Amino acid sequence: MKKTVFPAFLVAVLAAMPLSGLLAYDGGAVSDGGSVSGVVKFKGAAPAPKKLEITKDKEVCAKSGKTDPSLIVSGGNLVNAVVTITDINKGKKMEPQKVKLDQNGCEYKPHVLAMAAGSSVDILNPDGILHNVHSYSKANSPFNMAQPKFKKTITVKVDKPEVINLKCDVHGWMNAWLFVAANPYFSVTDNSGGFKLTDVPAGTYNVEVWHETLGKASQKVTVKAKADTKVSFEMGK
């Protein structure tokens, strides 16, 4: 009996191919696209905002009162949740952006910053004191950089889709998330819990919400040409 033998080099090549390479996103012009919009609600009684204790550099960091940003509910709506389409590989053009993350008053603003993979983030230090930006990333190279008062901007590029937690080693309460999306369909909920994904080619997709404390929720959504499809989510503990 004849055995089928795979050449060793072919096996090695296939094994080395990254999954992201197989699922590469193909962006271009979308005509007759539809949209998905809606609200993310918080299930249950809204938690009372937790006050953060400012233990260092009070003259700069304690100028404004701070509350724990890890679960913000406004009028029953969930703030800072990221809504994405997880299974789209062809649609509108993916534009890497140049986005800003401010540390003004020892607080990251915005707390959750979403962008397309390949984007650059300008991390600003207008405080006149030392910050330290520490990323907890796996797909992208992790970084841990001191940002003294004279270093007003540090720019980092994020090439791979990943949700990255950022912390400041100087000020333990400082915490932010970079949501690096695999495609251009992402939206961060605002104070009204609202989100909108535009120029989506007609089809059925998996629409997912991510929240740093509440985890994930998803549903199948059918988008029709030139129409807005309303979707609502409810997330709780």
Using CB under 5 A, list all residues that contact Cu ion. Answer: 131, 168, 170-171, 174
Which phi-psi region, left, alpha or beta, contains residue 206 (left: φ > 0; alpha: ψ -120 to 50)? Answer: beta
- Residue whose CB is less far from Cu ion, 156 or 181: 156
Least distance from C-beta 56 to Cu ion, angstroms?
8
Least distance from C-beta 101 to Cu ion, angstroms?
12
- Residue whose CB is less far from Cu ion, 24 or 145: 145
- Residue whose CB is less far from Cu ion, 61 or 207: 61
Least distance from C-beta 131 to Cu ion, angstroms?
3
Cα pseudo-dihedral 237, 198, 100, 180, rounded to 10? 60
Specify whether the CB–CB gap between 160 and 144 falls below 8 A.
Answer: no
- Residue whose CB is less far from Cu ion, 88 or 168: 168
Least distance from C-beta 154 to Cu ion, angstroms?
12
CA distance 209 to 233: 8
- Residue whose CB is less far from Cu ion, 117 or 178: 178
Q: Look-up: residue for tokens 């090549």?
A: 13
A 10 A CB-CB count for 72 gives 22
- Residue whose CB is less far from Cu ion, 170 or 214: 170
Residues in CB range of 98: below 8 A, 6 or more apart: 119, 120, 122
- Residue whose CB is less far from Cu ion, 143 or 208: 143
Least distance from C-beta 52 to Cu ion, angstroms?
13
Cα pseudo-dihedral 182, 207, 233, 79, rounded to 10? 20
What are 35's two structure tokens? 């949209």
Residue in the shown chain whose Cβ atom is closest to Cu ion? 168
Specify whether the CB–CB gap between 192 and 80 falls below 8 A.
Answer: no
Residues in CB range of 123: below 8 A, 6 or more apart: 101, 103, 133, 147, 153, 154, 155, 156
Least distance from C-beta 61 to Cu ion, angstroms?
8
Least distance from C-beta 87 to Cu ion, angstroms?
38
At 220 the three-state DSSP class reads: strand
